[in-house]
């Protein structure tokens, strides 16, 4: 088992789209799926290239209304490269006999390689070795090297290298009835003998995309300068070359591509800059060298070393963890810094969820905060820039402050679908998921956590505070006073569990007093009060004046934070929402017997004319999110502030109750459940963790990963190692640790960045060591239980673990 590579030893048409998603290459600016360069969208293959934040809107008439969707656009395909022996067929893996096959994604260096020996229908044996990468340092560049060797034949070889702008969005079968032609052609051109050029434009958002491709050929080490035959239309351009080749000779082809768009900074015009970049780009090997170095830098920051008991399984788990880190860093990287993009829940790896930004940031940012917080800052700024849109949304809905959307895309308006298709029943059903107002608390949480990890007061002063205060304002305007209960309530919303969007017999969507929403709103008020205390006086004054924030309003926040209502049932169970206890128990057993693992219960029930709204069944952690985000102490403090009892058994009792009633219909679910069990049931926690690890590599949701990876679960599994097993908390001015390794892990080493310092952390069951790198920043405080120490650059501390 190679823990640095994802390897496939055969070509399996059924698995191809999954592999394409998992073998995607990218650099935070653009991503390209791991599709075979000779392939096209044909049911087996789906080449796709996506620009970070490259959205376009289209209208479709469906289910009796016109709906507008904003999609992540599949950009022109830069990959096309194919060949055929004179008079033969263009390479098509489905039509040749494959003798040897190996596809390898090299995680350490960000290179996708495939080696294939095959026999065509005429008995010609050919060997192909192909490597490619999307450059981690030069964000506009990608390169592919192809080596061919005719093993038992000589003759003419035709090679075609193209740029293809005829693509549409066709990755998600459920979206097939929706408009999908996002691009319109601008033109194509041959720039010089080696270089072709294509430009397209998105139809509504008017983003221009320019691609230039340079193709060079060598036979037996000699550069080939023959004339090339050009074919072109407005949205397709190719060059064809004919080479005389001899048995055993090496034919080497280098295709280097540049991609620019009209959204880029520091350009004149994207087409000009694409051509300029390609004319300056060095050859494949030189580009690869720098690309490799960039990955080395990333792995230095993000690498983790963990030793497991079972070395074979351990090596596979290690590889999957690396794959997860790898895809995170391809979605957001150093190249993302200063771009106006958020982090999409499905990566820039496919078209599911249309590249939208959800609350999944909550699961992703902790990893970035403790390694490259500058990336988090960029992603938080994506939210900050859309604060006015969130203000307008709040106002339009009759609220104060800022109401961020459940799904966010280009300008920050609500992008959730109005209706969605249940593929099990073929019904278009109303989508109420936008009622998940808890996304607002996640944004405030993320801004505060970033500040905790970095101490970046300037960010808090100029961006974070304003978002947090405006979100507090929104919650205060949404909360209503109940005379009956003498408490505040939040009515008509949805919690993270998407199976429940309304009361069983109600026409009106939304639920009352979702515990997660209410507690998080309380947390936002507490945080807002802390922020006001933290701000330097001059900035405090500017902000309160600018936002017209009066003392009375602040006093009300304090009051709500002490009088928010929570509902309980069955002796200490926190009700997911008011009325949850009235729902029927779900018959898990008979559904499991009938359908196997019933992850997407919502679809099954809707197809049976039923609804999960009637049952005590959750898609994912909802109440349990509280134990995921807060330590027992923190939650105890919130309950005390609210005047509710919080006993020692509250946590295990609730975990036990809800875990039995959860179908894990979201890949986030296993992460959350594994996390909350880390300390109480290590065996179950480990099982859920290994299941979360399999989410994408084994496509455990049955067909969702080909449409894009699940970045929340990917980052969440790594963060489980990073924070749950180490017990890291960045609370107050102290980096707190409280390790608890699962018995399967013998040791763990990782590198962290905290308040400007780089630290090497190593943990064994008995000992914890923190080594601080040489640096000149202020000493930091680290603590294990009550043992608090100061740590300066270059120093090391050790703790004996109890
Ligand atoms: C989950 C949400 C998540 C979304 C995007 C849904 O299936 O229920 O919690 O935000 O996927 O990942």
Q: Which atom of ligand 1 is nearest to the CA of 620?
A: 8
Using pLDDT thresholds of 50, 70 and 90, give the confidence band for residue 310.
confident
In this prediction, residue 311 carries a pLDDT of: 81
Range 656-684 average pLDDT: 95
Sequence-ordered list of residues with C-beta below 8 angstroms from that of 299, at least 6 positions apart, any chain: 108
Range 378-407 average pLDDT: 98
* Protein residue whose Cα sits closest to atom 5 of ligand 1: 345
Using pLDDT thresholds of 50, 70 and 90, give the confidence band for residue 760.
very high
Burial class, 429, CB count within 10 angstroms (exposed 0-12 / middle 13-18 / buried 19+): middle
Q: Which atom of ligand 1 is nearest to the CA of 356?
A: 5
Distance, CA 408 to ligand 1 centroid (Å)?
Answer: 13
Percentage of the chain lying above the pLDDT 70 cut: 100
Output the average pLDDT for the chain.
96
In this prediction, residue 673 carries a pLDDT of: 97
Using pLDDT thresholds of 50, 70 and 90, give the confidence band for residue 623.
very high
Q: Which residues pair with 160 in a beta bridge?
A: 82, 240
* Protein residue whose Cα sits closest to atom 11 of ligand 1: 666
* Protein residue whose Cα sits closest to atom 1 of ligand 1: 666
* Catalytic residue, candidates 498, 578, 707, 744: 498
Q: pTM for this one?
A: 0.98
Using pLDDT thresholds of 50, 70 and 90, give the confidence band for residue 545.
very high
In this prediction, residue 561 carries a pLDDT of: 98
Note whether 491 and 579 are within 8 A (CB): no
Tokens describing residue 19: 């592999």
Q: Which atom of ligand 1 is nearest to the CA of 665?
A: 7
Rounded to an integer, what distance in angstroms lies between the CA atom of residue 367 and that of residue 667?
18
Express each pLDDT in 242-277 by its tens digit. Answer: 999 999 999 999 999 999 999 999 999 999 999 999
Can you say whether the dihedral through the CA atoms of 521, 522, 527, 533 is positive or negative?
positive
Express each pLDDT in 110-135 by its tens digit. Answer: 999 999 999 999 999 999 999 999 99
pLDDT over threshold 90, residue 476 = yes
Using pLDDT thresholds of 50, 70 and 90, give the confidence band for residue 140.
very high
Tokens describing residue 776: 């000149």
Range 552-558 average pLDDT: 98
* Protein residue whose Cα sits closest to atom 7 of ligand 1: 666
Instruction: Note the helical H segments in 625-708.
Output: 625-629, 632-642, 650-659, 667-676, 682-697
Rounded to an integer, what distance in angstroms lies between the CA atom of residue 58 and that of residue 791?
55
Annotated binding site for substrate: 359-360, 619-620
Distance, CA 367 to ligand 1 centroid (Å)?
Answer: 19
Using pLDDT thresholds of 50, 70 and 90, give the confidence band for residue 162.
very high
In this prediction, residue 108 carries a pLDDT of: 98
Distance, CA 326 to ligand 1 centroid (Å)?
Answer: 21
Tokens describing residue 120: 């065509």
In this prediction, residue 109 carries a pLDDT of: 98
In this prediction, residue 598 carries a pLDDT of: 78
Note whether 379 and 369 are within 8 A (CB): no
Annotated binding site: 359-360, 619-620
Using pLDDT thresholds of 50, 70 and 90, give the confidence band for residue 12.
very high
- Across 61-65, 161-165, 348-352, 467-471, least confident range: 61-65
Rounded to an integer, what distance in angstroms lies between the CA atom of residue 474 and that of residue 625?
21
Ligand 1 pocket test, pick from 331, 345, 355, 442 with the greatest ligand atom count within 8 Å of Cβ, gives: 345
In this prediction, residue 238 carries a pLDDT of: 98
Q: Which fold has domain 5-302?
A: Beta-galactosidase; Chain A, domain 5 (2.70.98)
Distance, CA 406 to ligand 1 centroid (Å)?
Answer: 10
Active-site residue flag, 498: yes
Range 288-292 average pLDDT: 98
In 3D, which of 693, 648, 643 has the Cα closest to residue 671? Answer: 693
In this prediction, residue 87 carries a pLDDT of: 83
* Protein residue whose Cα sits closest to atom 6 of ligand 1: 666
Distance, CA 683 to ligand 1 centroid (Å)?
Answer: 26
pLDDT over threshold 90, residue 46 = yes
Q: Which atom of ligand 1 is nearest to the CA of 345?
A: 12
In 3D, which of 4, 630, 538, 704 has the Cα closest to residue 299? Answer: 4
Rounded to an integer, what distance in angstroms lies between the CA atom of residue 660 and that of residue 565?
25
pLDDT over threshold 90, residue 73 = yes
Give the domain ranges of the chain: 5-302, 746-800
In this prediction, residue 732 carries a pLDDT of: 86
Residues with CB under 6 A from ligand 1: 345, 353, 358-360, 496, 498, 619-620, 666, 668, 712
Express each pLDDT in 438-464 by its tens digit. Answer: 999 999 999 999 999 999 999 999 999
Distances (CA, A) of 235 to 185, 350, 754: 5, 22, 49
Distance, CA 468 to ligand 1 centroid (Å)?
Answer: 23
Distance, CA 346 to ligand 1 centroid (Å)?
Answer: 10
Q: Which residues pair with 150 in a beta bridge?
A: 126
Using pLDDT thresholds of 50, 70 and 90, give the confidence band for residue 104.
very high
Ligand 1 pocket test, pick from 422, 441, 712 with the greatest ligand atom count within 8 Å of Cβ, gives: 712
Pick 593 or 524 by higher pLDDT.
Answer: 524
Ligand 1 pocket test, pick from 668, 673, 707 with the greatest ligand atom count within 8 Å of Cβ, gives: 668
Range 492-510 average pLDDT: 97
pLDDT over threshold 90, residue 794 = yes
Q: Is 53 helix (H, G, I), strand (E, B) or coil?
A: coil
* Protein residue whose Cα sits closest to atom 9 of ligand 1: 496
Rounded to an integer, what distance in angstroms lies between the CA atom of residue 601 and that of residue 617?
9
Using pLDDT thresholds of 50, 70 and 90, give the confidence band for residue 164.
very high
Express each pLDDT in 311-341 by its tens digit. Answer: 888 899 999 999 999 999 999 999 999 899 9
């Amino acid at each position: 088992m190679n823990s640095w590579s994802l390897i496939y030893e055969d070509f399996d048409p059924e698995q191809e789209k999954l592999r394409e998603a998992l073998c995607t290459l990218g650099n935070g600016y653009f991503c390209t799926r791991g599709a075979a360069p000779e392939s096209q969208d044909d049911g087996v293959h789906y080449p796709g290239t996506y620009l970070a934040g490259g959205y376009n809107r289209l209208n479709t008439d469906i289910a009796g209304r016109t709906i507008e969707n904003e999609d992540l656009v599949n950009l022109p395909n830069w990959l096309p490269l194919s060949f055929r022996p004179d008079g033969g067929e263009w390479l098509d893996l489905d039509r040749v006999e494959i003798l040897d096959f190996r596809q390898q994604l090299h995680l350490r260096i960000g290179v996708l390689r495939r080696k294939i020996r095959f026999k065509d229908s005429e008995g010609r044996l050919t060997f192909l070795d192909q490597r490619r990468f999307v450059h981690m340092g030069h964000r506009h560049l990608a390169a592919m090297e192809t080596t061919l060797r005719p093993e038992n034949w000589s003759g003419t070889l035709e090679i075609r290298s193209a740029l293809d702008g005829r693509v549409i969005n066709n990755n998600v079968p459920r979206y097939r009835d929706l408009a999908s032609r996002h691009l319109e052609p601008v033109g194509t051109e041959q720039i010089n003998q080696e270089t072709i050029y294509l430009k397209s434009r998105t139809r509504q958002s008017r983003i221009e995309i320019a691609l230039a491709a340079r193709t060079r050929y060598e036979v037996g080490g000699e550069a080939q300068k023959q004339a090339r035959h050009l074919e072109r239309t407005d949205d397709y351009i190719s060059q064809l070359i004919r080479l005389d080749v001899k048995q055993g000779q090496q034919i080497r082809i280098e295709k280097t591509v540049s991609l620019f768009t009209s959204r880029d900074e520091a350009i004149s015009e994207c087409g000009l800059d694409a051509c300029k970049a390609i004319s300056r780009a060095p050859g494949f090997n030189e580009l690869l060298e720098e690309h490799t170095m960039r990955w080395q830098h990333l792995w230095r920051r993000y690498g983790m070393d963990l030793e497991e008991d079972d070395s074979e399984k351990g090596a596979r788990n290690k590889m999957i963890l690396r794959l997860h880190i790898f895809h995170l860093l391809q979605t957001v990287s150093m190249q993302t810094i200063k771009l106006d993009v958020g982090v999409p829940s499905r990566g820039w790896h496919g078209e599911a969820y249309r590249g939208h930004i959800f609350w999944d940031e909550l699961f992703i940012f902790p990893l970035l905060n403790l390694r490259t917080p500058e990336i988090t800052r960029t992603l938080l700024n994506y939210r900050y820039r859309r604060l006015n849109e969130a203000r307008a949304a709040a106002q339009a809905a009759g609220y104060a402050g800022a109401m961020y959307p459940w799904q966010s895309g280009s300008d920050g308006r609500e992008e959730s679908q109005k209706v969605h298709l249940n593929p099990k029943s073929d019904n278009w059903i109303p989508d109420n998921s936008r009622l998940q107002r808890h996304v607002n608390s996640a944004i405030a949480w993320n801004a505060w956590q970033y500040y905790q990890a970095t101490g970046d007061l300037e960010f808090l002063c100029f961006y974070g505070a304003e978002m947090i205060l405006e979100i507090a304002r929104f919650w205060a305007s949404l909360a209503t006073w109940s005379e009956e209960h003498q408490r505040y309530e939040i009515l008509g919303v949805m919690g993270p569990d998407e199976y429940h969007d309304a009361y069983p017999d109600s026409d009106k969507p939304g639920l009352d007093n979702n515990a997660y929403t209410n507690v998080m709103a309380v947390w936002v008020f507490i945080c807002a009060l802390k922020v006001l205390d933290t701000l330097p006086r001059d900035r405090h004054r500017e902000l309160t004046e600018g936002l017209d924030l009066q003392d009375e309003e602040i006093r009300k926040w304090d009051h709500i934070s002490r009088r928010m209502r929570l509902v309980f049932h069955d002796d200490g169970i926190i009700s997911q929402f008011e009325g949850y206890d009235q729902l029927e128990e779900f018959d898990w057993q008979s559904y499991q017997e009938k359908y196997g693992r019933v992850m997407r219960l919502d679809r099954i029930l809707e197809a049976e004319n039923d609804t999960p709204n009637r049952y005590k069944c959750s898609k994912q952690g909802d109440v349990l999110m509280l134990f995921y985000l807060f330590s027992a102490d923190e939650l105890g403090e919130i309950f005390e502030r609210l005047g509710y009892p919080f006993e020692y058994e509250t946590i295990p009792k609730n975990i036990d109750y809800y875990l039995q009633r959860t179908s894990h219909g979201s890949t986030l679910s296993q992460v959350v459940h594994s996390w909350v069990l880390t300390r109480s049931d290590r065996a179950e926690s480990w099982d859920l963790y290994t299941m979360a690890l399999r989410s994408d590599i084994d496509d455990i949701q049955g067909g969702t990963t080909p449409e894009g990876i699940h970045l929340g679960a990917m980052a969440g599994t790594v963060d489980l190692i990073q924070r749950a097993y180490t017990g890291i908390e960045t609370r107050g001015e102290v980096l707190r640790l409280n390790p608890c390794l699962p018995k399967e892990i013998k040791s763990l080493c990782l590198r962290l960045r905290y308040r400007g310092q780089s630290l090497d952390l190593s943990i064994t069951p008995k000992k914890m060591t923190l080594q601080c790198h040489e640096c000149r920043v202020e000493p930091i405080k680290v603590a294990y239980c009550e043992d608090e120490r100061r740590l300066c650059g270059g120093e090391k501390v050790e703790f004996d673990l109890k």
